[in-house]
Structure 1
Amino acid sequence: MSRMSIQAAVTMGQLQNKLDIIGHNVANANTTGYKNRQADFSSLLFQQINNLSDPANAENRLTPDGIRVGSGAKLGHTNIDLSLGSIQETGRALDVALLQDNHLFQINVTENGIEETQYTRSGTFYLNPMDDGTVMLTTQDGHPVLGEDGPLVFADDMEGISINQDGAISVTRNGIDQVEGQLAIAEAIRPRMLEATGNNNLRLSQTAQEEFNANEIIQQLDGNQVEVKSGSLESSNVNLTNQMSDLLMTQRAYQLNARSISMNDQMSGLINQLR
């Protein structure tokens, strides 16, 4: 197979991944707290032609030996846009919206017996009863929401509960309001180092954990740095107009590469017919 066909075939496979990302964005355009994702491409360079015998390859030359030849493109990275989406009023006390870009709720997720801290922009919270008579603040999937001192747990004799603008959780007992918890909210310093885990959650990528300290990627915030709005939810920040434009451009690029393979096949056929 010629390099033209190899390049086109490789690029088509990676363009399909971008189409999948666009489809995922469109499907979650109405998902609470969903963040738009964008594919970044880079050149795929892995073939090298040895030109050591070339006269131009003189002694003390500064360029590397050989010629690097590109063979298509690859999906270099998937960026997550943590900018603020539109705020929708719900009137429900345990619905919370973050009002600053790159801010994230912290939750405790257990997978295959391993606990880890994950992050989300979705503020749909619930009170789940525990076996010891207490209630725990959790996500809609049942994952504990973290406070400054771990999962947020309250005695189950409250008359009301509300979340203040600074993330403090106020509980009403016997007609008296008292702060009994504080949402642990973090800021993503390097959003590119986060990866999606499903269910609208994010976590530190393996590469990030190996190359950086956690506090270089995620910074813990105190109440003075936090701004939330209770009784509201943040909508997805997906722009459907942009997604449709990206979809058309990606489809055209896919068709161009497919046409390249077809044209290369026709040219090869003509060459083979020469006498």
Structure 2
Amino acid sequence: MTRMTIQAAVTMGQLQNRLDNIGNNIANANTAGFKGRDANFSSLLSQQINTEPDPTNPVGRLTPEGLRIGSGAKLGHTNVNFEQGSMEVTDRNLDVALLGDDQLFQVAVEENGVAETRYTRAGNFYLSPQEDNQVMLVTSDGNPVLGAGGEPIVLMNNMDDLKIEENGAINVTRNGVQNVEGQLEIVQAVRPRLLEAAGNNLFRLSEESLDNYPLAEIVNNVGQADVRLKSGALETSNIDLAKQTTDMIETQRAYQFNAKTISMHDQMQGLINQLR
């Protein structure tokens, strides 16, 4: 393969990754609390090719004479956009939206027998039946929502009403009497860029970030007085469909141009082979 074909093929593979990222953003445009991801490109290593048999370096020139030809492009970064989405009023007692920037709910997830704390902005919660006439506050995927002390929020089922207050307190009404029987444990992402997507609209702490920073410098517990919630509402995704559509068209065109480069190169090679 020639350098031209390699450049185009490498770039096409990376453009396909960007298309996958855009498709994921569009597919989650209606997912509560979803945060979009922006893909940024960077050039691969460039090679210096001299155009003269005995190149010289004129006075004042900082680089050698010749051509620099890169090896294509790659996705340099895929950053999560943590801008807050708009609010959608649902009037459902178990729906709650975070109003504070970079604040997150804590969720317990178990994978391969290992429990791990993950984070989300989605506040569409449900009650899951447990043993001994109890219910647990869970996410739409059935993962326990963590409360004070990092423990799942478990309540007795014989309740008349339940409401999540603006400070995260879970107010339960039984026989006409209201009592606070739980508290959401909200954390602040001090360095949100160190959180990595873990699927199912969740974020996790990467091993690399924990090796380089103490936990308190990545996420930190928010005091009850600083918690700001809106009950009966959900934060929508922060996806701008117009921008995502524009990015998709732009990426598709770039993909077509690189494919055309390979096609034209094949035609040129065919013509050369026919010369006698």
Same fold (TM > 0.5): yes
CA shift for structure 1 position 208:
2.0
Q: Deviations over 1:152-171 (max 9, x none)?
A: 11233332211111112112
The CA distance in 2 between the partners of 1:157 and 1:68, in whole Å, is: 74
Percent identity for Structure 1 against Structure 2: 60
User: What TM-score comes out, normalization by structure 2 length?
Assistant: 0.86
Other structure's SS at 1:149 match:
helix
The CA distance in 1 between the partners of 2:42 and 2:167, in whole Å, is: 41
Other structure's SS at 2:143 match:
coil
Partner residue in 1 for 2:36: 36
The CA distance in 2 between the partners of 1:30 and 1:100, in whole Å, is: 21
Other structure's SS at 1:210 match:
helix
CA shift for structure 1 position 55:
8.7
Partner residue in 2 for 1:242: 243
Other structure's SS at 2:256 match:
helix
Other structure's SS at 1:146 match:
coil
The CA distance in 2 between the partners of 1:48 and 1:195, in whole Å, is: 37
Q: Deviations over 1:73-111 (max 9, x none)?
A: 112222111221121111111111111332211100011
Is 1:48–1:68's contact at 8 Å kept on the other side of the alignment? yes
* One-letter amino acid of the structure 2 residue matched with residue 29 of structure 1: A
Structure 1 unaligned spans of 5+: none
The CA distance in 1 between the partners of 2:46 and 2:221, in whole Å, is: 41
Is 1:104–1:185's contact at 8 Å kept on the other side of the alignment? yes
The CA distance in 2 between the partners of 1:212 and 1:48, in whole Å, is: 39
CA shift for structure 1 position 261:
1.7
**Residues 109, 46 of structure 1: alpha-carbon distance in 2 compared, 3 angstrom cutoff:** farther
Q: Deviations over 1:200-256 (max 9, x none)?
A: 111122332333222222222112222111111111111110011101110111112
User: What TM-score comes out, normalization by structure 1 length?
Assistant: 0.87
Partner residue in 2 for 1:16: 16
The CA distance in 1 between the partners of 2:132 and 2:89, in whole Å, is: 34
The CA distance in 1 between the partners of 2:193 and 2:12, in whole Å, is: 25
Mean alpha-carbon deviation: is it higher for 124-133 or for 233-242?
124-133
Partner residue in 2 for 1:152: 153
Partner residue in 1 for 2:269: 268
Partner residue in 2 for 1:171: 172
Q: Deviations over 1:128-183 (max 9, x none)?
A: 22213322111121111011223111233332211111112112234232222221
**Residues 190, 47 of structure 1: alpha-carbon distance in 2 compared, 3 angstrom cutoff:** farther
* One-letter amino acid of the structure 2 residue matched with residue 116 of structure 1: E
**Residues 69, 209 of structure 1: alpha-carbon distance in 2 compared, 3 angstrom cutoff:** farther
Report how many residues are paired: 265
Structure 2 unaligned spans of 5+: none
Is 1:160–1:173's contact at 8 Å kept on the other side of the alignment? yes
* One-letter amino acid of the structure 2 residue matched with residue 227 of structure 1: R
Partner residue in 1 for 2:99: 99
Mean alpha-carbon deviation: is it higher for 218-227 or for 107-116?
218-227
